[in-house]
Amino acid sequence: MLLRIRFLSHLAAEFFYSNATLQLNAGERWALVGPNGAGKTTTMKTIMGLVKPTSGRVIFEGQDITSRQTHQVVQ
């Protein structure tokens, strides 16, 4: 498994998503789609470490990267 997002939530005045869960395996391709304001950009920013989730975990190659800073995620 390459990337796993488990029960990820982010609550803020202007951004919101709740209990987002997905699993991306090596070799797979996914698209994150939805209307304006659905949380696509905030979800990606959370994976990259630019936004801290209210709850949940981001697991990359078996390691929890949820609390890492962006420069650590990129490495």
Band of pLDDT at residue 13, cut at 50, 70 and 90: low
Please write the tens of the pLDDT for every residue from 34-74: 998 888 888 888 888 888 888 888 998 999 999 888 888 88
Residue 12's CATH number: 3.40.50.300
Helix or strand run (H / E) with residue 43: helix 40-48
Q: How far is residue 67's CA from residue 65's CA, in Å, rounded to a whole number? A: 6
Q: What's the rounded Cα separation, in Å, for the pair 47 and 17?
A: 13
Provide the residue range defining the domain that includes 44. Answer: 3-74
Q: Give the pLDDT of residue 14.
A: 64
pTM of the predicted model, to two decimals? 0.76
pLDDT at 73 (0 to 100): 82
Domain total in the chain: 1
